[in-house]
Amino acid sequence: MSSAPFQTTLELRPSSRLEVVDVNRHLKDQVGDRLHAYPKALYLSYHTTAGYVDTRLAGRLNHDQDSIRQFLSAFQRVFPPDAGYRHDELDLRSELSEEQRATEPRNADSHLTFIAAGLANCVSVEQTGDTRTWFVDLDGTNGPVRRTRKTTVVGYHGEEVTGTTRMKIPVSRHAVDSVNLKDPRIGLFARIEEEVRRQGIDRGRVDIALLPEEQHAGLTVNEYETLLMSHDLPEVLSNPLRFMLEKGKGAIRDPRAIPGKTMNYARYDVVKIINELMDVLGMSESVVERIVNRFMAVPASRFLRVKKAISLPILALDGNGAGRIAEGTYQSPILVHWRSAPSALREVELTFVRLH
């Protein structure tokens, strides 16, 4: 048995905007069967429009590539490209230079699909001889340009919980809001880094979970860009049909017919989308009926697969054995809620895990 975890980083170059990749097939081409010596593996993405399918969801989809694509395409129809997203109004993005505005992708739909479909920046997988772990790129090409994506894989023998702690996160009293947990004023990253040092974790992860009593809220890892978080995501949490409706307006010539017709079309599309999800996930008719009824009334908490927990990987990246949070340039853990918290606080539990 190998004495230490095995770590490698792959580069992937998608050939289409939506691409579903079995990472282990690429890993075998690069490092052969080295990962097979380890019963567990940690996979992480450094991107906000490309990440991993949750392992339980992949299992429900029978690890079938076409089923995964069908699942994602349902969310893509809810968030079609060029549907009036504020994030895509590049002239309003003050953080971009003129040169960046010329090449920056208009990809709000990809960010929202990532969040709504519950894609993950980091997953832990039990390894078998035929394990397939699915990396999904929602924004793999920008016009004729193929993007380069990176993913790191760590093979390991086991894991040990080294400690847990809780933190209260201040949130606004707005009914719909998002909080950047990377904001130094919150102190989450400082707390994590302090605990990682104190516990001597060189490779591992920290699992961040909302307490069970924290309702109408979720966690994701994505880009905390002002227009995306202040306008587009709140629109989705308030009304997931918003951008489907916006896209549909362009297809209707009679302006007086827009409100009624687009709502009818959107409702019809939603039923089709949920039926597709039923087929691919093996849901019963009664479950679908409940989802449709709830979706038409208070949809965000029923339809969107926003997670209650996320993981941040800890890796020794600087060569001196000290672990720190491994993250992409634009990644931030984000807390979202679609109903205000009574005390203007949300509580999370941090669980520190060492890989060996």
Give 267-309 pLDDT, tens digit per residue: 445 555 555 655 665 655 554 444 444 444 444 555 577 899 9
Instruction: Give residue 260's pLDDT band: very low, low, confident or very high (50, 70, 90).
Output: very low
Between 36 and 290, the higher pLDDT residue:
36
Q: Is 337 helix (H, G, I), strand (E, B) or coil?
A: strand
Rounded average pLDDT over 180-196: 97
Dihedral of alpha carbons 216, 219, 220, 222, sign: positive
More confident site: 127 or 331: 331
pLDDT of residue 246: 72
Residue 266 has pLDDT above 80, yes or no: no
CA 44, 55, 116, 355 torsion-angle sign:
negative
Cα gap 228→33, rounded to integer Å: 41
Three-point CA angle 330, 125, 287, nearest 5°: 85
- Nearest alpha-carbon partner for 308 in 233, 212, 221: 212
Going by C-alpha positions, the residue among 52, 59, 62 that lies closest to residue 21 is 52
pLDDT at 300: 56
Taking 80 as the threshold, does the pLDDT of residue 334 lie above it?
yes
Contact, 63 vs 49, CB < 8 A?
no
Of the chain, the percentage scoring pLDDT greater than 70 comes to 82
Question: What distances in angstroms separate CA 95 from CA 32, 87, 100, 111, 185, one per listed residue?
Answer: 42, 12, 9, 18, 21
Q: Tokens representing 241?
A: 């049909």
Q: Are 147 and 322 in contact (CB under 8 A)?
A: no
pLDDT for position 295: 43
Instruction: Tell me the pLDDT of the chain averaged across its residues.
Output: 86
**pLDDT confidence band for 20 (50 / 70 / 90):** very high
Residue 44 has pLDDT above 90, yes or no: yes
Helices (H), the chain: 23-31, 55-60, 65-78, 98-103, 108-116, 188-199, 226-227, 233-238, 242-249, 258-281, 285-297, 300-303
Q: Quote the pLDDT of residue 236.
A: 87
Sketch the domain layout of the chain as residue ranges. 6-240+299-355, 241-298
DSSP 110-173: HHHHHHHTT-BSEEEEE--TT---EEEESS-EETTEEP-EEEEEEEES-EEEEEEEEEEEE--S
Inform me whether the pLDDT recorded for 230 exceeds 50. yes
Which pLDDT band holds residue 31 (cuts at 50, 70, 90)? very high
Single-letter code of the amino acid located at 354: R
Query: How is residue 49 written in tokens?
Result: 């429009």
Using left for φ > 0, alpha for ψ between -120 and 50, and beta otherwise, residue 321 falls in left
The structure tokens listed for 200 are: 């001597």
Topology (CATH) of 6-240+299-355? Jelly Rolls (2.60.120)
pLDDT of residue 46: 98
Backbone angles phi, psi at 324, to 5 degrees: -150, 170
Number of H helices, E strands in the chain: 12, 17
